[in-house]
Amino acid sequence: MADPIAEVAKKHPAPEGIVYAYGTAGFRTKAEVLDSVMARCGLIAALRSRALGGKSIGVMITASHNPPEDNGVKLVEPLGNMLAEEWEVLSTEMANKATPEDVSAFYREIAERFNIKLSTPAHVVIGRDTRASGARLLSCVLDGVKAAGAEPKDYGFLTTPQLHYMVRCLNTQDTSDAYGTPTEPGYYEKFSEAFKRALGGKKISGSLTVDCANGVGGPKLTELVKYLPPKDQGLEIFVVNDNVIKPESLNVECGADFVKTNQRAPPSSKSGPNDRCCSLDGDADRLVYYFKDSNNMFHLLDGDRIATLVASFLGDLVRHSGLSDILKLGVVQTAYANGAATNYVEQNLKLTVDCTPTGVKHLHHAAAKLDIGVYFEANGHGTVIFSAATLEAIAKHEPRSPAQKESLDVLKACIDLINQSVGDALSDMLLVEVVLAHKNWGPQEWLATYNDLPNRLLKVVVSDRNQFKTTDAERKLVKPDGIQKQIDAEVQKVRQGRSFARASGTEDAVRVYAEAATRAEADDLARKVAEIVKAAGSA
């Protein structure tokens, strides 16, 4: 009898000599070598669905902020979380099996290991960004899903957070935790309705220009705008860099990664002084704000700024609703957070800060331990999560005054406005607009909350980045021997100095971060630490 698993592996053979790894962002590399990986991810998604009793598992085809010729794939757990770590390992192993027979044998081995009955129904939900390679790679995923006898549901183009939303909605349908309607209109309705409620009659002043990185966020934002209140009562949005007809323009000279890395606006930007601008990345799960002041000077309001803004607002709402005795709010960052942001949260907002290793899953995990956990990476990935007990406490809280009720209503609306399944640039953007409207702030007032320490991020290519081993949430190197002492000695020489080096999880390089009291000191420190890394890496 024909073996459909071996057949599909034969149809999409693995290129020789490539070692694949399911990293922080799933599999991500040149699109031309991803066919076999996609088909096998279809198989793994089917197995994962069966291991969870037939729950829907998500497959997102995207390479986010990478260049247009790249692509990638990420699997999504039933509530919209990132794939369980154990299954990342299985995915990597599956992607690297050499022959169709090996693939088939491993498929059966996984089934046996997890007691999976291969005849049980399985559901796989698929979305993709606008890359030219997406259609071909989708057909590979579908081949895998079908070979495994699972039922695919293809949503076509979606932002990454929309796919996470669909997965969560499908798995919570008809339960008391139903997250929403698992359709695109369902997504727009849910978030636009929450936006209106969260504004609570407050006016938004000025317009917002949104750079969509020429990615999938463009058409989706255009759709969302149709559901928002008319511009005279709500928010005037200008959608720019939304050309998805030319996929080769994706992330080129625009988008959140361009703006954060280069610390400047996209060259095409035509915004005037103090105009609010923001940029999404290629799959719309990253958001950064920025503006030019009246002297034409560029100011970035990155993920740290969004975290501090949102934490301060939610903290106020909790207090004004009369809930501060029972609910504790905290902020989770990575070592890349600016020291001034950390200091502001601890000293001014009087909230706790946790530091985790890089990657959303680590931040999410730490935030899930808090009643209300605000987590953002400096580059703009992030969201706020509320524990089940917190949601219950908020739902049954009886306000003692009209003022308490007003704050409580806004807090409840914010919970609905914040995508609980994953960090979502569109939902985060609406949240920022709500907070600015309530505070009656423009970008200048937001910027004035604290002064960022000048900082520098460098990439150092070494012969084997895996020899760089860290501890203390990646802030200290334990390997190569003796290197941390040398870094510490350089840090001592500058004012307010902080620096660390770690192997990237997504690129073949070691990243060096440095900050200090002045631009010159930060640059100098980064350069010195990069030299230390380079020397140790070539030893």
Ligand X SMILES: CC(=O)N[C@H]1[C@@H](OP(=O)(O)O)O[C@H](CO)[C@@H](O)[C@@H]1O
Residue numbers at the binding site for Mg ion (CB under 5 A): 64, 281, 283, 285-286
Residue 232 CB contacts under 8 Å (≥ 6 apart), including other chains: none
415 close to 273: Cβ distance less than 8 angstroms: no
> Which stretch in 147-155, 213-221, 343-351, 354-362 sits in contact with ligand X by CB under 6 A?
354-362
By CB under 6 A, tell whether 359 contacts ligand X.
Answer: yes
Q: Which is nearer to ligand X, 330 or 359 (CB)?
A: 359
Dihedral sign from CA coordinates of 166, 169, 170, 171: positive
Residue 20 binds which of ligand X, Mg ion, none (CB < 5-8 A, kind-dependent) = none
Choose the contact partner of 12 out of Mg ion, ligand X, none; CB within 5 to 8 A by kind.
none
Residues 6 or more apart in contact with residue 345 via CB below 8 angstroms: 307, 308, 311, 331, 351, 353
Nearest to 439 by CA among 315, 289, 309, 292: 309
Query: Nearer Cβ to ligand X, position 376 or 386?
Result: 376
64 or 241, CB closer to Mg ion? Answer: 64
In sequence order, the 6+-apart residues with CB closer than 8 A to the CB of 153 are: 56, 123, 124, 125, 126, 170
Q: How far is the CB of 72 from ligand X (least distance, A)?
A: 10
How many CB atoms within 10 Å of residue 121? 12
Q: Quick one: which of 56, 63, 67, 57 has its CA closest to 25?
A: 63
SS3 assignment, position 254: coil
Residues in region 164-223 near ligand X by CB under 6 A? none
Least distance in Å: CB of 17 to ligand X? Answer: 23
In this chain, which of 184, 302, 354, 377 binds ligand X, going by CB under 6 A? Answer: 377
Using CB under 6 A as the binding rule, whether residue 421 contacts ligand X is answered as no
The least CB distance from residue 360 to ligand X, in Å, is: 6
Which C-beta is closer to ligand X: that of 323 or that of 425? 425
The residue with its CB nearest to ligand X is 505
Q: Where are the alpha helices (DSSP H) in 321-448?
A: 339-343, 360-367, 388-396, 402-417, 425-439, 443-447
Query: Cα–Cα distances in Å, from 196 out to 158, 189, 233?
Result: 23, 11, 10
Instruction: Give the one residue of 50, 362, 364, 381 binding ligand X; rule: CB under 6 A.
Output: 381
- Which of 36, 192, 241, 358 binds ligand X (CB under 6 A)? It is 358
Give the nearer residue to ligand X in terms of CB position, either 337 or 516. Answer: 337
Q: Is 529 in the site for ligand X (CB under 6 A)?
A: no
Interface residues for ligand X in 461-520 (CB under 6 A)? 504-507, 511
Residue with tokens 């001014």: 348
Among 379, 421, 455, 499, binds ligand X (CB under 6 A): 379
How far is Cα 41 from Cα 43, in angstroms, rounded to an integer?
5
Shortest distance (Å) from residue 377 CB to ligand X: 4
Minimum CB separation from ligand X for residue 484, in Å? 19
Q: Strand, coil or helix: what is 74?
A: strand
Strand 56-61 relative to strand 70-76, pairing: antiparallel
Q: Of ligand X, Mg ion, none, which one does residue 192 interact with (CB within 5 to 8 Å by kind)?
A: none
Segment contacting ligand X by CB under 6 A, of 4-12, 173-181, 222-230, 377-385: 377-385
CB atoms within 10 A of CB 164: 29
Q: Taking the complex as a whole, how short is the minimal distance between the CB of residue 504 and ligand X, in angstroms?
A: 3
Measured from the CB atom, is 166 or 437 closer to Mg ion? 166
Give bridge partners of residue 469 from the DSSP assignment: 479
Phi-psi region of 305 (alpha: psi -120 to 50; beta: other; left: phi over 0): alpha
Instruction: Evaluate whether 383 touches 423 at the Cβ level (below 8 Å).
Output: yes
Give the H/E segment covering residue 332: strand 329-334
Closest separation in Å from C-beta 71 to ligand X: 14
Q: Does 360 bind ligand X (CB under 6 A)?
A: yes
| CA–CA gap between residue 286 and residue 92 (Å, rounded) | 26
- Cβ closest to Mg ion, residue 164 vs residue 511: 164
Place of tokens 């081949």: 143
119 flagged as catalytic? no
Quick check: 29 binds ligand X (CB under 6 A)? no
Residue 281 binding partner per list Mg ion, ligand X, none, with a CB distance cut-off of 5 to 8 Å that depends on partner kind: Mg ion
Site size for ligand X (CB under 6 A): 14
Q: In the structure encoding, which two tokens stand for residue 447, read together?
A: 């910027």
Min CB(187)–ligand X separation in Å: 22
Q: Which does 336 bind (CB under 5 to 8 A by kind): Mg ion, ligand X, none?
A: ligand X
In this chain, which of 107, 336, 375, 468 binds ligand X, going by CB under 6 A?
Answer: 336
Residue among 48, 184, 55 nearest 116 (CA): 48
Q: How far is the CB of 91 from ligand X (least distance, A)?
A: 16
Q: Which of 64, 133, 269, 407 is catalytic?
A: 64
285 binds, among ligand X, Mg ion, none (CB under 5 to 8 A by kind): Mg ion
Report the C-alpha gap between 279 and 211 in whole angstroms: 4
Q: Using CB distances below 5 to 8 A depending on partner kind, what does residue 359 bind out of ligand X, Mg ion, none?
A: ligand X
Catalytic residues: 64
Q: Which stretches of the chain bind ligand X, using CB under 6 A?
A: 24-25, 336, 358-360, 377, 379, 381, 504-507, 511
